[in-house]
């Protein structure tokens, strides 16, 4: 690789140049921001190694120029400083640095970091060549981009697609935020599919569904005999994803007691199986997602601040469906196409009246709720054209600015007595709340103003199935 070393310590810069030349690289030296920018203008570099603090400015100025898109491919950047801090590291990574090192750094460490960057660039070049050579074949075969799953034409979703396209090629950690059902996993898969790791595993970990006692084993694995039921060695999610991507869904649910171990994986790129003292190196990219406000959780002492810094090097926020209602026609066409393929019902369409009715809904469950509503309508209808009557659209009224479920729009029969009438009303209210929440029971419980456990009990008592 062709490498530029920028450091005002002349002896250190010369020593690095000698070392890099011995490693088979071509190296140039600069001692100031001005000299570094002049070198960038005159040559194309694969890697910039720059000190953060220079006599006439900061290494960040050199990095911003190096990664402004004027050269293709853009050079990677390693920032060095004797004044390390989490904040400066996060700022550097957010601006596009490939790595961040605190002085003094051993030559062995330099060699390791540079080799990783060299391997990454080689993979990127190979991936670009492969994409270009296969582009016409994919088009002819009817395959689209991974971004096709991010359906919509609104400025909000277009910005999301652009962000995904930019970050996919780099190994930086990504935090995807947004409400339940907005498509955070779809975005994570798109990043993986467009990255140099696309042919390696994509492992999803639902942090909300793992009991605290099993969390460490699920993520890091365990040795035989590590605990009572550990009858054989188990490979954890990080080892299973080696070379690929780990998607930590609902990362805000990770217990505070285990967040330090997750932070260590991010920092050291190694895990230790439960019941073992031998660390195992893992090469994974981490994409995390949450519908919670992690900054508020940090303030409340429920989430580690240093872990948040590490996870949110790049932050992608997915807007709720109610903020991009203009995308609803495109979303409906895309979802109906896939539902039709799955159910053997091709050429499904929405009537204009059905589309207008769907656009009037708030969709608190977002795209997931919309998909469920469309699939239910397809199952209930014998026609290829879906009409309003095919949808279980719950009428809504406004009470002091809040949306409430309107279920008392029919006269209840008294034939079965008061208990039967109350049971019928209770069942209809629960079904209506579930319909409004897109099947999300915690949201339905909030609508009904009862605890989630009570909702589950009443559903079981009334014979309302999990589906």
- CATH no. for residue 50? 3.40.50.2300
Residue-wise pLDDT for 179-235, tens only, equals 988 999 999 999 999 999 999 999 999 988 888 778 888 888 878 876 767 677 788
Distance from C-alpha of 107 to C-alpha of 414, rounded to nearest angstrom: 85
Q: Name the token pair of 153.
A: 């034409």
Residue 130 lies in a domain: no
Overall number of domains in the chain: 4
Residue-wise pLDDT for 349-390, tens only, equals 888 888 888 888 888 888 988 988 898 888 888 888 888 888
Residue 133 lies in a domain: no
Same domain as 200, residue 254: yes
Beta strands in 89-218 (DSSP E): 99-102, 174-177, 202-206
Same domain as 42, residue 107: yes
Band (307; pLDDT cuts 50, 70, 90): very high
- CATH no. for residue 338? 1.10.8.60
Same domain as 101, residue 85: yes
pTM over 0.85? The answer is: no
Helix and strand numbers, DSSP H then E, in the chain: 18, 18
Q: What is the 3-state secondary structure (H, E, C) of 337-404?
A: HHHHHHHCCCCCEECHHHHHHHHCCCCCCHHHHHHHHHHHHHHHCCCCEECHHHCCCCCEEEECCEEE
Same domain as 6, residue 42: yes
Per-residue CA distances from 351 to 99, 329, 336, 387, 444 (Å): 53, 11, 12, 6, 29
Same domain as 176, residue 296: yes
- Give the model's pLDDT for residue 88: 65
Mean pLDDT of 134-161: 63
Domain boundary among 118, 141, 176: 118
Mean per-residue pLDDT of the chain: 81
Checking if the pLDDT of 17 tops 60, the result is: yes
- CATH no. for residue 171? 3.40.50.300
What percentage of the chain exceeds 70 in pLDDT? 82
SS3 127: helix
In which domain, by residue range, is 432 found? 394-467
- Give the model's pLDDT for residue 131: 46
Residue 275 lies in a domain: yes
Residue 48 lies in a domain: yes
Residue 139 lies in a domain: no
Q: Name the token pair of 92.
A: 């550097």
Band (278; pLDDT cuts 50, 70, 90): confident
Same domain as 241, residue 108: no
Domain boundary among 262, 285, 319: 319
Place of tokens 């479920």: 405
Distance from C-alpha of 75 to C-alpha of 136, rounded to nearest angstrom: 29
Checking if the pLDDT of 298 tops 90, the result is: yes
Same domain as 307, residue 283: yes
Same domain as 419, residue 369: no
Same domain as 315, residue 173: yes
Same domain as 287, residue 300: yes
Q: Which residue has the higher pLDDT, 128 or 54?
A: 54
Backbone angle region of 16, left / alpha / beta, with phi > 0 → left and psi within -120 to 50 → alpha: alpha
Checking if the pLDDT of 397 tops 50, the result is: no
Same domain as 448, residue 358: no
Domain boundary among 289, 319, 349: 319
Residue 138 lies in a domain: no
- CATH no. for residue 443? 1.10.10.60
Residue-wise pLDDT for 53-104, tens only, equals 889 988 888 888 887 766 667 788 888 877 655 566 666 666 677 777 877 8
Per-residue CA distances from 418 to 228, 335, 412, 425 (Å): 53, 43, 10, 11
């Amino acid at each position: 690789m062709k490498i530029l070393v920028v450091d005002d310590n002349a002896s250190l810069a010369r020593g690095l140049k000698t070392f890099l030349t011995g490693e088979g690289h071509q190296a140039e030296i600069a001692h100031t921001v001005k000299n570094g920018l002049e070198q960038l203008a005159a040559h194309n570099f694969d890697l910039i190694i720059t000190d953060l603090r220079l006599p006439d400015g900061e290494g960040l100025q050199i990095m911003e120029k190096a990664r402004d898109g004027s050269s293709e491919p853009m050079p990677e950047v390693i920032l060095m400083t004797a004044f390390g801090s989490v904040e400066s590291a996060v700022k550097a990574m957010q601006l596009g640095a490939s790595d961040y090192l605190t002085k003094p750094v051993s030559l062995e460490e330099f060699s390791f970091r540079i080799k990783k960057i060299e391997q990454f660039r080689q993979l990127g070049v190979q991936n670009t060549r492969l994409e270009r050579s296969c582009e016409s074949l994919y088009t002819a075969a009817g395959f689209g981009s991974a971004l096709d799953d991010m359906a919509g034409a609104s400025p909000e979703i277009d910005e999301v697609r652009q962000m995904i396209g930019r970050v996919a090629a780099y190994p930086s950690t990504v935090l995807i935020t947004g409400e339940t059902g907005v498509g955070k996993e779809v975005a994570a898969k798109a990043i993986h599919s467009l990255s140099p790791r696309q042919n390696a595993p994509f492992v999803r970990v639902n942090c909300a569904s793992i009991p605290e006692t099993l969390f460490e084993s699920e993520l890091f694995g365990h040795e035989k005999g590590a605990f009572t039921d550990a009858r054989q060695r188990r490979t954890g999610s990080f080892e299973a994803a080696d070379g690929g991507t780990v998607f930590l869904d609902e990362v805000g649910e990770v217990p505070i007691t285990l967040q330090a171990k997750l932070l260590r994986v991010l920092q050291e790129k190694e895990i230790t199986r439960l019941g073992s003292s031998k660390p195992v190196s893992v090469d994974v990219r981490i994409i995390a997602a949450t519908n919670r406000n992690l900054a508020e959780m940090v303030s409340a002492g429920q989430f580690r601040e240093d872990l948040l810094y590490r996870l949110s090097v790049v932050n992608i926020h997915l807007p709720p469906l109610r903020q991009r209602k203009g995308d609803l026609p495109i979303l409906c066409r895309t979802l109906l196409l896939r539902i039709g393929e799955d159910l053997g019902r091709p050429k499904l369409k929405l009537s204009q009246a059905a589309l207008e009715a769907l656009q009037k809904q708030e969709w608190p469950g977002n795209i997931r709720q919309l998909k469920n509503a469309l699939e239910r309508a397809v199952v209930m209808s014998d026609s290829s054209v879906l009409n309003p009557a095919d949808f279980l659209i719950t009428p809504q009224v406004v009470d002091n600015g809040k949306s409430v479920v309107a279920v008392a729009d029919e006269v209840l029969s008294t034939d079965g007595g008061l208990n039967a009438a109350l049971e019928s009303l209770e069942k209809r209210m629960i079904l209506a709340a579930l319909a409004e929440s897109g099947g999300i029971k915690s949201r339905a419980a909030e609508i009904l103003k009862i605890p989630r456990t009570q909702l589950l009990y009443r559903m079981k008592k009334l014979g309302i199935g999990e589906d």
